[in-house]
Amino acid sequence: LKKVIVRGRVPFDEVGVSLSQVDLGKNGYLVLLDGRGNALYHPDSKRLLRRYDGPGRAALTTSEGHGMGRDASGQEVYWIAHRLVPEGTRVGETWTLMAVIPRHQIMALASQGTRIHLGAGLVTLLLVGSLGYGFSRRITQPIVHAAEAAHQLALGETHTRITSDHGPREIRQLAHAFNSMVAEVVHHRTDLEKLVELRTRSLQEQKERSNNLSAQLHAAFEATEEAILILRHDGVVLGANRRFGLFFGARVESLAGSTFNQWQQDFFGCFADPQSISDRWSQTVSQTARAQPEPKWQVLRPERRVLDVYASPLIAESGDSIGQLWVFRDLTHEQQLQESLEQAQKMEAI
């Protein structure tokens, strides 16, 4: 078998006739260029098979697909190029089909389209306005009534209701839903008022009981014969009774809210051995268990006293220590009686 290459010529006039029938307006036209930039079709027959140098020639060497330019007469035109790949042309090279339209023609088409759209919009607006005006009263009147009812409800008039006998189905549904909502709100409001009243009464009773208990505890706190000092974990004085002020010559009114560090020097200075008492105090504060320092603490001023001291940490429900309770009991009288008894026993023995 031999390979044979068959060549033939096809008249190109049919392509030119097809392209000339494309309507691009009065001055618009098409140009078909081969891969080397020669005009295969041009409305001006003198430019056929010649190098194209008109608007859009940049599309032959770049990837630009459209742009603005000027034709031979200096008129500003708009061009757009479409590339025909070799598979489409079947001649082994890329052809370029280019449309060239004068700018004023495009602007005229745009202005015409704008006028058409404006006219259509105006007609639509007039039609919609007419329909809206015709149905506005029927539609808006129930809505106005609903708005007025909602405003009255916001002012606290819970008896407000919307008549649901007239109007479109949606308005009747809205009125029914509104009336149901108002009834439910009134019901919940009544229940809430009862609950608030009940809670308020309960809180008042609890407050009264708490005040009574506080008064009783305060009376017991002040009436006890022991001196009491309550310190927070950071050393702030939470409370001290008048007996504490009597034992140590302190103004109880000025102690509340102060820190122990502010007056500890005066406090420890009341004892016969300030340094020893200070060490015992620090040791007791650092312990988490209850402690009763020994021996008895000797006080020299403002009066001589022998004190029995009891200390206990204040433990919260969480188990954390929140402070320290100190109780000082005066053993001076007991000590004197004990010494008198011992003296009498010695005299009797002699």
DSSP 242-293: HHHHHHHT--HHHHTT-BHHHHHHHHHTTBSSHHHHHHHHHHHHH-SS-B--
Cα angle 39, 43, 48; round to 5: 30
Residue 117, classified by CB atoms within 10 Å of its CB into exposed (0-12), middle (13-18) or buried (19+), is exposed
Bridge partners (DSSP) listed for residue 237: 231
**Cβ contact 338:331 at 8 Å:** no
Q: State the Cα–Cα distance between residues 242 and 44, nearest whole angstrom.
A: 123
**pLDDT tens-place values along the chain, 350 residues long:** 555 554 445 566 777 777 777 777 777 888 888 888 888 888 888 888 888 888 877 777 777 788 888 877 788 888 888 888 887 777 778 888 888 888 888 888 788 888 898 889 889 988 888 877 777 766 677 777 777 877 777 777 777 777 766 667 777 787 788 888 888 888 888 888 899 999 999 999 999 998 888 888 888 888 888 999 999 988 899 999 999 999 998 888 888 889 998 999 999 999 999 999 998 888 888 876 565 555 688 999 899 999 988 888 888 888 888 889 999 999 988 888 887 888 888 888 77
The CA-based dihedral angle spanning residues 262, 267, 268, 270, taken in that order and rounded to the nearest 10 degrees = 150
Tell me which residue of 221, 249, 252 sits closest to 325, measured CA to CA.
221
pLDDT of residue 293: 55
Buried b (16+ CB within 10 A) or exposed e, 308-338: bbbbebeeeeeeeeebbbbbbbbeeeeeeee
**Cβ contact 322:233 at 8 Å:** yes
Whole-angstrom CA distances from 171 to 5, 305, 349 are 84, 91, 115
Half-sphere exposure of 85 (CA within 13 A, CB side): 1
Residue 147, classified by CB atoms within 10 Å of its CB into exposed (0-12), middle (13-18) or buried (19+), is exposed
pTM above 0.75, yes or no: no
Tokens for 319, please give them: 């188990």
pLDDT of residue 295: 67
SS3 9: coil
Residues 6+ apart with CB under 8 A from 348: none
Q: State the Cα–Cα distance between residues 16 and 47, nearest whole angstrom.
A: 13
Residues 6+ apart with CB under 8 A from 277: 268, 271, 297
Q: State the Cα–Cα distance between residues 103 and 107, nearest whole angstrom.
A: 6
SS3 317: coil
